[in-house]
Amino acid sequence: MVQAKYDVLGIGNAIFDVLVRTDEDFLVRHGMTKGGMALIDEARALAIYGDMGPAVEMSGGSAANTIVGIAGLGARAAFIGKVKDDQIGRLYSHDIKAAHVTFATPPAADGPATGCSYILVTPDGERTMNTYLGAAQELTPGDIDPAEIAASSIVYLEGYLWDPKNAKDAFLKASTIAHDARRQVALTLSDAFCVDRYRGEFLDLMRKGAVDLIFANEAELCSLYQISDFDAALTQLRNDVALGVVTRSEKGCVVAVKDGVVSVPAFPIGKLVDTTGAGDLFAAGFLFGLVRGAGHENAGRLGALAAAEVIQHIGARPQVSLKELAKQNGLPV
Amino acid sequence: MVQAKYDVLGIGNAIFDVLVRTDEDFLVRHGMTKGGMALIDEARALAIYGDMGPAVEMSGGSAANTIVGIAGLGARAAFIGKVKDDQIGRLYSHDIKAAHVTFATPPAADGPATGCSYILVTPDGERTMNTYLGAAQELTPGDIDPAEIAASSIVYLEGYLWDPKNAKDAFLKASTIAHDARRQVALTLSDAFCVDRYRGEFLDLMRKGAVDLIFANEAELCSLYQISDFDAALTQLRNDVALGVVTRSEKGCVVAVKDGVVSVPAFPIGKLVDTTGAGDLFAAGFLFGLVRGAGHENAGRLGALAAAEVIQHIGARPQVSLKELAKQNGLPV
């Protein structure tokens, strides 16, 4: 196995976030399911945005947020995802490159605009996402460079890739190349509703060994196995994948392997402002720990630390140096 | 005089803010004058942006920020400014309308892109702005609707309007209409370098009575009269304009009329994060107090409160309800 060029390469929907603080009524009025990610078309995007208050914009996208976090901890990271060559797409490309992430996916020259997620943040800090995929729909297997995949220690994929029409094939291509190169493949289940859409396919990926590591939160895990008992779901997960990492909000996380489980507490926070990116940044810290050989417990601590940073402000990208933050907290970077 | 439709109507450059936290070295490397607003062309915008870290975007523009603050305090407010009909222009239009501001200026169909300011925020909280005017250049006297101007209790104008090629004429047209309708005209001096570019014209506006109220900070006031002694400059200001309001950062503000001056302390803050919009929001609170007949001292307090809110987070638009904030602090709204 040749020396890796990247510690982690992520593949995901490139999505620009439009964030606004709102009250619970807004969600009710627009028939939104709080805490979820709903796919919307352009007409609904206009209806929601037209009713939203003044917003703040920043780059997002689940796997992209994770990759930015990994780069912020000091690892070598790359991202594959599709924007359009439009104003928002150029902002997006700037931000991810400026975060020291290699991003070489050519933007779409025509077709739908760069994807956007309209994110409502309620006073309790919960976020409810409404995603217009836009140009993210245009990601195809042709955007997967075999040499780049084979040169990445871990390939990290988001479950949301099952939504655009060709991204799943890009995902499967990347997974095969990675395994042929004896690399690891990680998947986040992304969202409980996403799991509900693709449960059979996700389970199949796990059981046939197309993925080695699963990230999930409690709701996603329970949705995957369609049971409400967390421990029973965890037992099933341990049978289905080599390494499973389940986040439990303020209860911390559980790292599960065939032989047993390790629990890691959440990192204490001052005030919960916005949960957007919590799972993404947890995955960033954990994957960073993993590639640096920190052990599962320290990897969980790094995940908890990165998640704690991102939920104390609006938006899913870190506002401080995660590397400095980890150092200040005595974690290995 | 007919009943006013708007308490305050603002005219300014419609500018989208691209904000990033950076170190002092960045300013040095790019030859920027810390704390100032520099006009840049597209080539320099690309050079600066290409070197900037991951950013956060939100709508800005000096007079627009003020008008949004006034609406947030509960007054009837309108804005005139020019964006292009592009993605960023549509974000901009959304945000100001969503803030309950009447905004009816038609966007430019072609020509340069919506204006952007690349704002570097250093660890001390100071902001350094680099503004690409873009479509703001396209504002002309034709965008000034005489009926709307005549129906506004106060017309508020930014000194930055002297920079685009035709906006000055729009400014002068609005001032004349306002005075013919026996309305008040307010001007912010905007920036010490802006004052340096247009000192003679600004003094002329004041001395011939084209403006009734001047907002300035210490640096702008001293630049206006080209003297370093604050009290001497203030004395001159009192001779030149009916009402002058000078902000002095943590020293609060001074409200100056022919008969004397009133000092109002700054509002206490927790942590200074980003001074972007401090002067704009001060003007919002002060003008709100003025139109509500709160008296100069309470108007100054409202200004101090609004400024304190905006400097404790990134960006020049309030993140909480200013009306609620004022109520909580026992100020008249």
* Contact in structure between B217 and B247 (CB atoms under 8 Å): yes
- Best of B21, B51, B57, B103 to substitute, by most chain A Cβ atoms within 10 angstroms, is B57
pLDDT on residue B331: 95
* Contact in structure between A254 and A263 (CB atoms under 8 Å): yes
pLDDT on residue B1: 63
Q: Scanning every residue of chain A, which has its alpha carbon at the shortest distance from the alpha carbon of B93? A: A54
* Contact in structure between A19 and A53 (CB atoms under 8 Å): no
CB of B42 within 8 Å of a chain A CB? The answer is no
- Give contacts of A18 with chain B, Cβ < 8 Å: 91
Q: How far is A315 from chain B (nearest CA, A)?
A: 9
CB of A94 within 8 Å of a chain B CB? The answer is yes
pLDDT on residue B12: 98
Q: Walk across the sheet containing B260-264 and list its strands.
A: B101-103, B77-80, B6-11, B152-158, B184-188, B213-217, B243-247, B253-257, B260-264
pLDDT digits (tens, 9 = 90+) for B175-226: 999 999 999 999 999 999 999 999 999 999 999 999 999 999 999 999 999 9
- Which band of pLDDT confidence, cut at 50, 70 and 90, is reported for residue B3? confident
Which domains occur in chain A, in start order?
Answer: 6-13+61-112+134-328 (3.40.1190.20)
SS (H, E, C) B223-283: HHHCCCCHHHHHHHHHHHCCEEEEECHHHCEEEEECCEEEEECCCCCCCCCCCCCHHHHHH
Residue A95 φ/ψ region, left for φ over 0, alpha for ψ in the -120 to 50 degree band, beta for the rest = alpha
Q: Which of B104, B224, B208 is nearest to B159 (CA)?
A: B224
Instruction: Nearest by CB to B99, from A54, A58, A99: name it.
Output: A54
In chain A, which ranges are continuous DSSP H helix?
Answer: 24-29, 42-51, 62-72, 87-98, 146-150, 167-180, 192-207, 218-225, 230-240, 278-291, 296-310, 322-328
pTM exceeds 0.95, yes or no:
yes
SS (H, E, C) B52-105: CCCCEEEECCHHHHHHHHHHHHCCCEEEECCCECCHHHHHHHHHHHHCCEEECC
Which residues have CB under 8 Å from A205's CB, separation 6+?
A175, A187, A211
* Contact in structure between B178 and B184 (CB atoms under 8 Å): yes
Per-residue pLDDT of chain A (333 residues; tens, 9 = 90+): 678 999 999 999 999 999 999 999 999 999 999 999 999 999 999 999 999 999 999 999 999 999 999 999 999 999 999 999 999 999 999 999 999 999 999 999 999 999 999 999 999 999 999 999 999 999 999 999 999 999 999 999 999 999 999 999 999 999 999 999 999 999 999 999 999 999 999 999 999 999 999 999 999 999 999 999 999 999 999 999 999 999 999 999 999 999 999 999 999 999 999 999 999 999 999 999 999 999 999 999 999 999 999 999 999 999 999 999 999 999 999
Q: Rounded to an integer, what distance in angstroms lies between the CA atom of residue B66 and that of residue B160?
A: 14
Q: Scanning every residue of chain A, which has its alpha carbon at the shortest distance from the alpha carbon of B100? A: A53
pLDDT on residue A2: 72
Q: Rounded to an integer, what distance in angstroms lies between the CA atom of residue A83 and that of residue A114?
A: 5
Q: Rounded to an integer, what distance in angstroms lies between the CA atom of residue B325 and that of residue B323?
A: 5
Size (chain B), residues: 333
Q: Scanning every residue of chain B, which has its alpha carbon at the shortest distance from the alpha carbon of A316? A: B56
Token digits for A4?
């890796």
Average pLDDT of chain B to the nearest whole number: 97
- Give contacts of B319 with chain A, Cβ < 8 Å: 21
Q: Which of A27, A226, A9, A57 is nearest to A120 (CA)?
A: A27
Please give the single-letter amino acid code of residue A207.
R
pLDDT digits (tens, 9 = 90+) for B39-98: 999 999 999 999 999 999 999 999 999 999 999 999 999 999 999 999 999 999 999 999
Residue B103 φ/ψ region, left for φ over 0, alpha for ψ in the -120 to 50 degree band, beta for the rest = beta
Q: What is the CA radius of gyration of chain A?
A: 18
Token digits for A245?
């990492």
pLDDT (mean) for B127-155:
98
Q: Count how many Cα atoms sit within 13 Å of the Cα of residue A325 in the half-sphere of its side chain.
A: 20
CB of A98 within 8 Å of a chain B CB? The answer is yes
Q: Which of A78, A99, A75, A103 is nearest to A89 (CA)?
A: A103
Contact B94 A49 (CB under 8 A): yes
Q: How far is A96 from chain B (nearest CA, A)?
A: 7
The interface predicted TM-score of the complex, written ipTM, equals 0.96
CB of B299 within 8 Å of a chain A CB? The answer is no
Contact A54 B86 (CB under 8 A): no
Q: Rounded to an integer, what distance in angstroms lies between the CA atom of residue A157 and that of residue A213?
A: 10
pLDDT on residue B2: 72
Q: Rounded to an integer, what distance in angstroms lies between the CA atom of residue B315 and that of residue B158?
A: 19
Please tell me what DSSP assigns to residue B127.
Answer: E
- Give contacts of B315 with chain A, Cβ < 8 Å: 56
pLDDT on residue B94: 98
- Give contacts of A49 with chain B, Cβ < 8 Å: 94
pLDDT on residue B227: 97
Q: Rounded to an integer, what distance in angstroms lies between the CA atom of residue B323 and that of residue B299?
A: 14
pLDDT on residue B156: 98
Which residues have CB under 8 Å from A260's CB, separation 6+?
none
Q: How far is B56 from chain A (nearest CA, A)?
A: 5
pLDDT on residue B252: 97
Q: How far is A92 from chain B (nearest CA, A)?
A: 9
* Contact in structure between B141 and B176 (CB atoms under 8 Å): no
* Contact in structure between B317 and A19 (CB atoms under 8 Å): no
Contact B98 A59 (CB under 8 A): no
Contact A49 B315 (CB under 8 A): no
Please give the single-letter amino acid code of residue B312.
Q
